[in-house]
C-alpha cells in the first residue's frame, strides 16, 4: 500500500512539475509573441531610414511591415476616415516579392519594401481613383502616374488611396461623398485638406509616407494640423502626369512623412523630368538625403517677413513660433525682410485658382452639375466671374512677387513663417474665426500663409514644432529659392535632430 502511495505521489509530483513547466513555456511564448507584436507596432512610427535598414538586414520583413500597416488601417480608419480604397491582396503579394528579392540580395534602394499611400486623385493602374467625387466614383485608372511608377520601381508598396476634399477643391478635409477625415489629435477637429487623409495616415502610422497634391496649401496645411512633415517642392520639380488637375499652373506634387530625411528620400525618387509632362525641368537630381545629412550643421540665415504672415496669429501659435526662432537652434542668423504687394496675394491666387478649375470642369459642370457638392459647384461657378483681364493681371502679379522673393532669397538662405495662423478648428466651428479682433473665414485663415508659395512656385516644407495647451500641433513653414530643396530640408532635419521631434508628435489616439 505504501509503495503504491509513494508511486502515486511521485507521479503527481512529476506531473505537477510538467504542468508548471508547460505553463512557464506558454507564458514565455505569450510574452515572446507580445514583445514581437510590440516591436512590430513600434515600427509604425520609425523613420524610413531605420525601417529600410531593418528590411535590408532582414531583421524585419516587408510582409511584417505590411501587416502592421494593415492592422493600423483596420483599427483606425473606421474612426478617422483616412483611406477611401485599401488594396490588401495586391499589396501583400508585392510584399512577398520584395522579401524574395531581399533574400536573394537584390537591393533597389531605401524605399524597397516600404508601404505608401496616395491621395485619391493620383492614378495607379488598376486602382479606383475617385478624386473624392461622385462623378468619378467608379473610375479605375488605366495607368500609373509618373510618381507612382517611380515609387514602385524603387520597391515601395502601394497600400491604397487616401481621402480628400472633393476634386481636391478645399482645405478642410471635409467630404460629403466619402465622409470627412478626422484629426487624430482630437477627432472633433478637422484634419485639414485637401490631402487630409494622407496626413492622417502618416500621423497615425498607417503608412510611413503618402503622396499628395498642393494647390494652395493642401499638403502643408493638413501636415501642420496633424503634426507631420509636408513637402511641396519647386513647381516643375515633380511630374504631374497621371494626376488630375485642379489649377494646373498652381498644382504641385509632394509628400507627407514623419521625418524631413524621409521627405528628402522620397523627393529624390519622384523628382525629375518626365517626357509625358511639359512642365517638368530637365536637370540633374541630387542625392537629397545625402546632402541633407551632410549639411544639417551648416549655418543658414533666416528671413522673417515683417508684413502679412504675422498680422493674424492665434496667441499660442505666435508664442510657439517665437520660441522656435529664439531657442530651438533652427536659425543661425535672422534678418527681418520687407514685402510689397501683400494686400494682393489672396486676390491674385484666387483669380488663377478659380478660373483654371472652372475650365477643367466645364464639361461636367454643364452636363452633371447636380453631381457636385453645393460648395464645390459654387466655387466652380464663381470661376465664370473671373475675367480674362483679371486672370492676366494675376499672372503678372505672381511674376512680380516671384521676382521679389528671389531677390530676398539672395540675402538669406530661407524664409520662415508659421504654416497656419491657427490650429485645427472644430467641425462645428467652420464658418468664421476671430483672431486679434478680426473675423476671418476659416478657409481664408487656413490658406493665408501657404497660397503665396503656390503662386510663385517656391519649395516649402512644413514641420511640426510644438503643441498648444489643448495638445494640438503647430507647424512652421520653411521656404527656399527655386530648386533649392536641400536648404529647406537640411534646416528641417537639423531641427528634428536638435529637438528629437520625430518621437514627440504621436497623437493621443494612438
CA–CA separation, 501 and 231 (whole Å):
17
Q: Would residue 218 show up in a list of annotated catalytic residues for this protein?
A: yes
Q: Is 119 a catalytic residue?
A: yes
Q: CA–CA separation, 65 vs 492, rounded Å? A: 26
Tell me phi and psi for residue 9, to 5 degrees.
-65, -45
C-alpha cell at 379: 466655387
Of residues 304, 291, 294, 288, the one with CA closest to residue 254: 288
Contact between residue 313 and residue 321 where contact means Cβ atoms under 8 Å apart:
yes
Neighbours of 236 (CB within 10 A): 20
Q: Let me know: does 66 contact 115? Beta carbons within 8 Å.
A: yes
C-alpha dihedral, 208 to 146 to 133 to 369, nearest 10°: 160
Could you identify the residue written with the cell 511640426?
464
Distances (CA, A) of 35 to 30, 41, 47, 48, 60: 9, 10, 20, 22, 14
**Distance from chain centroid for Cα 47:** 14
Q: Taking a C-beta distance cutoff of 8 angstroms, is the pair 299, 333 a contact?
A: yes
Catalytic residue among 62, 195, 218, 455: 218
CA atoms within 13 A on the CB side of 365: 17
Is 194 part of the annotated catalytic residue set? Answer: yes
Query: What are the residues whose beta carbons fall under 8 Å from the beta carbon of 470, sequence distance 6 or more?
Result: 186
Catalytic residue among 119, 182, 296, 487: 119
State the cell numbers at 441: 473665414
- Decide if 376 contacts 290 (C-beta within 8 A): no
- Contact between 495 and 464 under an 8 Å Cβ cutoff? The reply is no
Q: Which of 47, 52, 61, 194 is catalytic?
A: 194
Select from 52, 440, 495, 507 the least CA-distant residue to 260: 495
Catalytic sites, residue numbers: 119, 194, 218
Amino acid at each position: 500500500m505504501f509503495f503504491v502511495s509513494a508511486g502515486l505521489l511521485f507521479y503527481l509530483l512529476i506531473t505537477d512539475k510538467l504542468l508548471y513547466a508547460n505553463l512557464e513555456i506558454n507564458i514565455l511564448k505569450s510574452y515572446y509573441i507580445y514583445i514581437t507584436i510590440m516591436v512590430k507596432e513600434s515600427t509604425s512610427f520609425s523613420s524610413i531610414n531605420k525601417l529600410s535598414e531593418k528590411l535590408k538586414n532582414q531583421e524585419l520583413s516587408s510582409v511584417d511591415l505590411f501587416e502592421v500597416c494593415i492592422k493600423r488601417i483596420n483599427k483606425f480608419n473606421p474612426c478617422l476616415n483616412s483611406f477611401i480604397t485599401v488594396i490588401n491582396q495586391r499589396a501583400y503579394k508585392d510584399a512577398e516579392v520584395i522579401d524574395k528579392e531581399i533574400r536573394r540580395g537584390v537591393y533597389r534602394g531605401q524605399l524597397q519594401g516600404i508601404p505608401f499611400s496616395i491621395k485619391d486623385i493620383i492614378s495607379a493602374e488598376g486602382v479606383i481613383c475617385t478624386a473624392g467625387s461622385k462623378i468619378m466614383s467608379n473610375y479605375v485608372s488605366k495607368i500609373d502616374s509618373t510618381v507612382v511608377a517611380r515609387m514602385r520601381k524603387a520597391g515601395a508598396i502601394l497600400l491604397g488611396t487616401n481621402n480628400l476634399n472633393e476634386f481636391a477643391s478645399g482645405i478642410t478635409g471635409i467630404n460629403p461623398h466619402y465622409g470627412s477625415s478626422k484629426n487624430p489629435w482630437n477627432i472633433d477637429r478637422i484634419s485639414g485638406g485637401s490631402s487630409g487623409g494622407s496626413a492622417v495616415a502618416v500621423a497615425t502610422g498607417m503608412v510611413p509616407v503618402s503622396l499628395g497634391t498642393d494647390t494652395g496649401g493642401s499638403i502643408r496645411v493638413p501636415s501642420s494640423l496633424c503634426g507631420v512633415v509636408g513637402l511641396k517642392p519647386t513647381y516643375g520639380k515633380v511630374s504631374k502626369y497621371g494626376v488630375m488637375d485642379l489649377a494646373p499652373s498652381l498644382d504641385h506634387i509632394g509628400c507627407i512623412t514623419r521625418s524631413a530625411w524621409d521627405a528628402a528620400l522620397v523627393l529624390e525618387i519622384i523628382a525629375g523630368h518626365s517626357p509625358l509632362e511639359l512642365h517638368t525641368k530637365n536637370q540633374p537630381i541630387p542625392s537629397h538625403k545625402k546632402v541633407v545629412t551632410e549639411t544639417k550643421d551648416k549655418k543658414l540665415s533666416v528671413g522673417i517677413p515683417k508684413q502679412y504672415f504675422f498680422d493674424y496669429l492665434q496667441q499660442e501659435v505666435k508664442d510657439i513660433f517665437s520660441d522656435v526662432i529664439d531657442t530651438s537652434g533652427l536659425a543661425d542668423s535672422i534678418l527681418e525682410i520687407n514685402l510689397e504687394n501683400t494686400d494682393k496675394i489672396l486676390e491674385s491666387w484666387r483669380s488663377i485658382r478659380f478660373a483654371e478649375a472652372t475650365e477643367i470642369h466645364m464639361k461636367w459642370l454643364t452636363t452633371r452639375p447636380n453631381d457636385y457638392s453645393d460648395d464645390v459647384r459654387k466655387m466652380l461657378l464663381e470661376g465664370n466671374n473671373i475675367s480674362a483681364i483679371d486672370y492676366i493681371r494675376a499672372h503678372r502679379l505672381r511674376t512680380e512677387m516671384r521676382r521679389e522673393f528671389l531677390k530676398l532669397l539672395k540675402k538669406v538662405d530661407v524664409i520662415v513663417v508659421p504654416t497656419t495662423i491657427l490650429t485645427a478648428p472644430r467641425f462645428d466651428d467652420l464658418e468664421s474665426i476671430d483672431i486679434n479682433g478680426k473675423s476671418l473665414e476659416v478657409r481664408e485663415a487656413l490658406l493665408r500663409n501657404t497660397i503665396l508659395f503656390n503662386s510663385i512656385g517656391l519649395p516649402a516644407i512644413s514641420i511640426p514644432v510644438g503643441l498648444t495647451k489643448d495638445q494640438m500641433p503647430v507647424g512652421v513653414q520653411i521656404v527656399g529659392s527655386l530648386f533649392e530643396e536641400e536648404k529647406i530640408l537640411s534646416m528641417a532635419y537639423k531641427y528634428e535632430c536638435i529637438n528629437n521631434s520625430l518621437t514627440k508628435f504621436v497623437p493621443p489616439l494612438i
